[in-house]
Structure 1
């Protein structure tokens, strides 16, 4: 029996390593297959209708709850010869908040009770803003974008793991377009939102999809 267990454990370990290697090879193959030579340097602006930020937070430790912000507007200054010279400046309207629960949306955007601070954003929330301070290329189609995120009146540094997701001519507008996918996480308490901690999680995962069109 002990030999059988050892054999099963060894087989599982080999399978796990094999799966990880296969995923890494697949990612490398995708990078190699994506021909980025058609992308040109210059100024780009977001396509607000197709730029979204998903947030996800643990709800009482039972499951994750998530919502979206949209209509983000901003610019990308892209230097294809030296990505470190590139920069991003994007504003995300908090009032674009989309969740499936009308009650939760009302709670997140309502004023505080009896003159107190709001539990979350409040009714007159300023746009969130991300301004890059450094871009570090990590692969043929990947980069770490470091910058200042201003949210709820407070500013903290974050690092976005970004990956080129597509490029070409928009079939509707014919605009030269580049698309990116990015991920990062923040602690909401760093931005003054301590409501229901720790029952509702502090760490908020952000999943970003953005399309930039050439000006």
Structure 2
């Protein structure tokens, strides 16, 4: 019995240590995606190929985590070169003037085990607005390859493009006002 109590204490202590500090994005195992509806009948998916996220926390369950994301707008990709060029133009993101998209969290609220509401300031197309997203903390493990600590998260939510003056001349029936966001991130504890 004594051995079990010591083992549980050790595991609890190790779990607490997993989360503390700064966590860096493993870009190879992460994605930042979006979906819009075209002509009210077809979903079009895209992603940002070049983005980075840093997490800082002091708690094992990440309940005080702070997220900082930056995406390179010129890395937008919808698997269609003509559409990608259009999205980078002044008709949409205007990447020449607004080269980055950023999200800086301002609060996190636990809704149930490993699930949170993450609030923060999203800056897109030169406009900053407060948004709230759903965050799922998928757990922390010791990576069997690197022997380092890894944590996983999934972020989902909806933002309105008109809130950011993005493609404001296009009606909702042509391009949906609502943009669905889905980001999956694997993070390693910074050394």
The answer to whether 1:53 aligns with 2:32 is: yes
Distance (Å, rounded) in 1 between the aligned partners of 2:138 and 2:171: 35
The answer to whether 1:121 aligns with 2:93 is: yes
Whose radius of gyration is greater, 1 or 2? 1
Spell out, residue by residue over 1:138-164, the C-alpha distance to the aligned partner (whole angstroms, 9 max, x if none). 122111111000111110111110112
Q: Which of the residues 59, 66, 72 maps onto 2:51?
A: 72
Aligned-residue CA RMSD (Å): 2.1
Question: In the TM superposition, what is the alpha-carbon distance from 1:49 to its structure 2 partner?
Answer: 2.8
Partner of 1:95: 74
Distance (Å, rounded) in 2 between the aligned partners of 1:173 and 1:93: 28
Aligned length: 174
Which ranges in structure 2 are unaligned for 5 or more consecutive residues?
1-10
Map residues 23-38 of structure 1 onto 2, 5 A cutoff: 38=15
Q: Which of the residues 184, 188, 191 maps onto 1:213?
A: 188
Map residues 6-25 of structure 1 onto 2, 5 A cutoff: none
Which ranges in structure 1 are unaligned for 5 or more consecutive residues?
1-34, 111-117
Map residues 55-204 of structure 1 onto 2, 5 A cutoff: 55-80=34-59, 83-110=62-89, 118-124=90-96, 125-193=98-166, 194-198=168-172, 199-204=174-179
Question: In the TM superposition, what is the alpha-carbon distance from 1:195 to its structure 2 partner?
Answer: 3.7
Distance (Å, rounded) in 2 between the aligned partners of 1:63 and 1:90: 29
Partner of 1:7: none
Question: In the TM superposition, what is the alpha-carbon distance from 1:123 to its structure 2 partner?
Answer: 4.0
**Structure 1 or 2: larger strand share?**
2
SS of equivalent residue, structure 2 residue 128: strand
Spell out, residue by residue over 1:100-144, the C-alpha distance to the aligned partner (whole angstroms, 9 max, x if none). 11110111113xxxxxxx111124232111111111011221111
Q: 1:72 to 1:171 in 2, by over 3 A?
A: farther
**Structure 1 or 2: larger helix share?**
1
Contact 2:50 2:75 in 1 (8 A): yes
Question: In the TM superposition, what is the alpha-carbon distance from 1:81 to its structure 2 partner?
Answer: 5.5
TM-score normalised per structure 2: 0.82
